[in-house]
Structure 1
């Protein structure tokens, strides 16, 4: 089991029941979804879900996909950030800092406890973590507050 959450990316056929089959396969394998969703654009459905056991999730999807048209699937490392939910413009401000650092955000969603989940190219991961770390320090109250 991974010590940090990962993104499970799954390509789904654009048909009724595909999401049910994915959810049932993951549930049967004991994989809990911690955030994410599915988007269909131009007849192509792609799911991104935050999971704590990427290897188990990938194995379950791979096994379920045979004959059902589910897949391909992949597991990706993610960067988690925290936004001040009460302050409008937080996403834009953080995204601007990421963009200024040359980080291209490929997928963004939230987990069930309010963290921003960022999936970036492997080449951008270090820069993304640096920006998010600085962002977190800026948000942290100073000692004594």
Structure 2
């Protein structure tokens, strides 16, 4: 599967096996998960996974009847893993630029994945472009 990295957001049904169904549907469609996770609050489970080929991923979720799915563009940044405070430093710069981070996770290569509102994307892109691993 090729394409630009996107965040796949899926509202999973509240039942055992729903995550397995998602993984199987994406695998059958040739969509690899490059990072992400699932969070449950109350009876609502939401998955966020980094995928290449968001359209194929959304179609696979719809075909499996798993619920609402959407693919959105993401920003990625590299943190110096051995320097404490990196997430805070980058997040402060984003906050100072009036950017709200909606979702944050890491990909399999250790990059920080950020999902921001469309209205904040250009400001966030400018902050990330200036960021260098190890900045404080």
| TM-score using structure 1 length | 0.89
Partner of 2:22: 22
1:36-75 residue pairs with structure 2 within 5 A? Answer: 36-65=36-65, 70-75=66-71
CA contact (8 A) 1:2 1:54 kept: no
Q: Counterparts of 2:88 and 2:46 in 1: how far apart (Å)?
A: 24
CA contact (8 A) 1:106 1:120 kept: yes
Partner of 1:92: 88
What SS is found at the alignment partner of 2:11? Answer: strand
Partner of 2:5: 5
Partner of 1:78: 74
Q: Counterparts of 1:120 and 1:63 in 2: how far apart (Å)?
A: 27
What SS is found at the alignment partner of 2:128? Answer: helix
CA contact (8 A) 1:106 1:121 kept: yes
* Structure 2: runs of 5 or more not aligned: none
Tell me how large the CA RMSD over aligned residues is.
1.5
What SS is found at the alignment partner of 1:86? Answer: coil
Q: Deviations for 1:57-104, whole angstroms, at most 9, x for unmatched residues?
A: 111001001xxxx21000000000100000000000000000000000
Q: Matched residue pairs, number? A: 135
Q: Larger radius of gyration, structure 1 or 2?
A: 1
Residue 74 to residue 36, structure 1, CA distance change in 2 (3 Å): same
| TM-score using structure 2 length | 0.95
Q: Counterparts of 1:43 and 1:101 in 2: how far apart (Å)?
A: 34
C-alpha deviation, 1:3, in angstroms: 3.6
Q: Which runs of 4+ in 1 moved over 6 A?
A: none
